Each structure stands twice: as structure tokens, then as C-alpha cells.
Amino acid sequence: MKSILRLDIDDARILIAGANAAADEIGVPMCIAIMDEGANLLAFERMEGGKVSSSTIAIDKAFTAAAAKRATHEYGAASQPGAPAYGINSAIGGRLMIVAGGVPVVHEGEVIGAIGISSGTPAQDRAVAEAAIAHWLAR
């Protein structure tokens, strides 16, 4: 057996509040997904105006960040045509997201969950994810 740390529902609510605030600030309503360390869904909100298609995308960005223990945008360069991980985006039934907006939540060097954001541009999605984590770190 081993012992691991994991986000709980209170953490998830803080992350969602942080994402809401950051999304409001830039005026882009978002879909927000929180996964725990086992890549299982903890919480989800589609803000008023968030895209329906982005529900699954936010969930899969958070899934990827939690399960692969890396931000989805880090797959970008590695999966371009000609690069080693080219084609990885259709893996796991298409759940492996390489578009920015999925970011792991890290505590003392360990990934304990992740947040996934979708509805804006990939840069906006990533910025909101990172702002949510900053909000959580400052809790």
C-alpha cells in the first residue's frame, strides 16, 4: 500500500471560485472541470454562456492533466507534425487533450489533481486555469 494526497471537494470549490472570478475578469464564460489525483471528476460548472461542446473538452483537459501529470499545452510542441508525439491527440478515444487549458494542481512536488478550462481561446483557457490555481494556493 501507499499513501497519496488528493484534492477534496473543498479544494474543488475554491478552484472553481477562482476560475469563475478569472473568467469574469476577462469577460469569457467558461466550462470548469476539477479532477482528483486518480483522474476522476470531482466538480464541474458551466458558467452562464459557457459552450456546451466545452463541457467534455474541459473535463478531458482536466483528465489529461491529472492522468498524465502535465499541462495539456506541454503536449503542443511535442505533438506537431514531425515531432515524436505526433498523433497522440486521438489517444484514449480522443480524451488526451493537447490544447492549452488543462493544468495539474501540484502540492509539494506531487500532482494531487487538475483543472480543465474550455470555452475561450486556448490562451484564455490556460490563463484562467492558472489563475484558479493561484487562487487556490493563496487560500
C-alpha to C-alpha distance for 50 and 55, rounded to whole angstroms? 8
Q: Considering the complex, what minimum distance in angstroms separates the CB of residue 73 from its own copies?
A: 9
Do 91 and 53 meet the contact criterion of CB atoms below 8 Å apart? no
Tell whether residue 41 is a contact of its own copies (CB under 8 A).
Answer: yes
By beta-carbon proximity to its own copies, the closer residue of 1 and 138 is 1
State how beta strands 41-46 and 102-107 pair: unpaired
Q: Considering the complex, what minimum distance in angstroms separates the CB of residue 131 from its own copies?
A: 18
C-alpha to C-alpha distance for 127 and 109, rounded to whole angstroms? 21
Tell whether residue 86 is a contact of its own copies (CB under 8 A).
Answer: yes
Tell whether residue 96 is a contact of its own copies (CB under 8 A).
Answer: yes
Whose CA is closest to 114, among 75, 58, 56, 54? 58
Which of 30, 57, 114, 127: binder of its own copies (CB under 8 A)? 57
Print the binding letters for residues 5-34 with its own copies: x by CB under 8 A, - otherwise. xxxxx-xx----------------------
By beta-carbon proximity to its own copies, the closer residue of 11 and 130 is 11
C-alpha to C-alpha distance for 26 and 47, rounded to whole angstroms? 13
Segment 117 to 136, residues that bind its own copies, using CB under 8 A: 121-123
Sequence length of the chain is: 139
CB-neighbour burial class of residue 35 (10 A; exposed 0-12, middle 13-18, buried 19+)? buried
Residues at the contact surface with its own copies, assessed by CB under 8 A: 1-9, 11-12, 36-48, 51-57, 60, 63-64, 66-69, 75-76, 79-82, 84-94, 96-100, 107, 112, 121-123
